[in-house]
């Protein structure tokens, strides 16, 4: 008879592993409506305790959403549900072609993928190897290329990361991926910014992150957010003073006419 196929069957195990690999690299995307519904639910929960923040606190407001998806559809979904924020803050890095954010992202990625970066050659290294092969030169591997990171650690050697200038980076796969993500963000922001500006009650704040600390960026954001609620004195010009004098004179004449009429 036909043998029974169970979950422990090698072919079944192989199919499950393949499906898990595909699922692990697949991006999970949600519609703009679902994002808005989830945010609406979170804000509703927040409003239950909003008044307890401090005496006289408002039931509404007091929330900040970070890294909300950038698309015109997501913004429209927020508008339809009445969830538009008072202020939208965009952090950008334009000096030196975005060297600041590129360096931060690269260092973060480098720390997570030390062995991968060491083992993956740059484009320049690949070109050099091809040139050497064409010239008939015998390829020689340096100790860093010849040893795996694990072997280097076993021998007590310190793993060294590639050095680079502040605004120059090796063309590794990490750098290419980071640059791609930055370009995608720039394009998405242009689209969303135009949609945001159609909402007259929403103010847009663009802050440069280069040479700024998180604290300074926070303080700049708070100043912008609090500005509409502050009172600012108005210096009267000569025209204002003249207009005020005319108004006072007109009021005096009206009072005099009323007294004479009585």
Q: Which residues contact 204 (CB under 8 A, 6 or more apart)?
A: 87, 88, 90, 193, 196, 197
Q: Which residue has the tokens 């005496």?
A: 55
Q: Is 148 helix (H, G, I), strand (E, B) or coil?
A: coil
Work out the angle at residue 49's Cα, subtended by the Cα atoms of residues 48 and 50, and round it to the nearest 5 degrees: 100
| Phi, psi for residue 99 in degrees, rounded to 5 | -65, -30
Among 73, 50, 74, 75, smallest CA distance to 63 is for 50
Distances (CA, A) of 227 to 65, 67, 176, 193, 224: 20, 24, 40, 21, 5
Task: Tell me: pLDDT of 40 over 60.
Answer: yes
pLDDT at 244: 84
The answer to whether 84 and 199 are in contact (CB under 8 A) is: yes
Question: What pLDDT, in 10s, does the model give residues 135-178?
Answer: 544 444 444 444 444 554 455 555 455 555 555 666 777 778 88
Average confidence score pLDDT of the chain: 75
Q: Is 88 helix (H, G, I), strand (E, B) or coil?
A: strand
Q: Is 207 helix (H, G, I), strand (E, B) or coil?
A: strand
Summarize the confidence of residues 47-62 as an average pLDDT: 83
Measured over the CA atoms of residue 112, residue 115, residue 117 and residue 120, the dihedral's sign is negative
Q: Which residue has the higher pLDDT, 83 or 111?
A: 83
Most confident of 10-14, 38-42, 68-72: 38-42
The answer to whether 120 and 173 are in contact (CB under 8 A) is: yes
pLDDT at 138: 43
**Range in 29-38, 43-52, 113-122, 139-148 the model is least confident about:** 139-148
Q: Is 244 helix (H, G, I), strand (E, B) or coil?
A: helix
Question: What pLDDT, in 10s, does the model give residues 75-95?
Answer: 889 989 988 888 899 888 888
- Cα–Cα dist 58/220, whole Å: 23
Distances (CA, A) of 142 to 9, 146, 147: 45, 6, 9
pLDDT at 115: 46
> Which bin fits 42, alpha (ψ -120 to 50), beta or left (φ > 0)?
alpha
Summarize the confidence of residues 114-128 as an average pLDDT: 52
pLDDT at 216: 92
């Amino acid at each position: 008879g036909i043998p029974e196929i169970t979950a422990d069957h090698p072919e079944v195990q192989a199919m499950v592993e393949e499906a898990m690999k595909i699922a692990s690299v697949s991006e999970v995307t949600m519609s703009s409506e679902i994002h808005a519904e989830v945010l609406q639910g979170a804000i509703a929960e927040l409003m239950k305790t909003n008044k307890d923040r401090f005496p006289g606190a408002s039931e509404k407001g007091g929330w900040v959403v970070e890294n909300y998806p950038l698309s015109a559809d997501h913004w429209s979904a927020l508008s339809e549900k009445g969830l538009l924020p008072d202020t939208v803050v965009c952090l950008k890095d334009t000096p030196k072609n975005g060297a600041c954010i590129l360096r931060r992202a690269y260092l973060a990625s480098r720390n997570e993928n030390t062995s991968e970066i060491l083992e993956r050659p740059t484009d320049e290294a690949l070109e050099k190897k091809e040139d050497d092969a064409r010239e008939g030169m015998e390829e020689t591997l340096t100790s860093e290329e010849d040893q795996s990171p694990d072997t280097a650690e076993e021998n007590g050697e310190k793993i060294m990361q590639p050095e680079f200038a502040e605004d120059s980076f090796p063309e590794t796969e990490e750098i290419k991926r980071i640059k791609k993500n930055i370009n995608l963000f720039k394009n998405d922001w242009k689209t969303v910014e135009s949609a945001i500006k159609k909402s007259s009650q929403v103010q847009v704040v663009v802050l440069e992150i280069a040479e700024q600390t998180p604290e300074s960026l926070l303080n700049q954001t708070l100043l912008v957010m609090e500005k509409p609620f502050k009172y600012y004195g108005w210096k009267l010009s000569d025209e204002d003073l003249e207009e005020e004098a005319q108004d006072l004179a007109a009021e005096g004449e009206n009072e005099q006419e009323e007294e004479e009429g009585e």
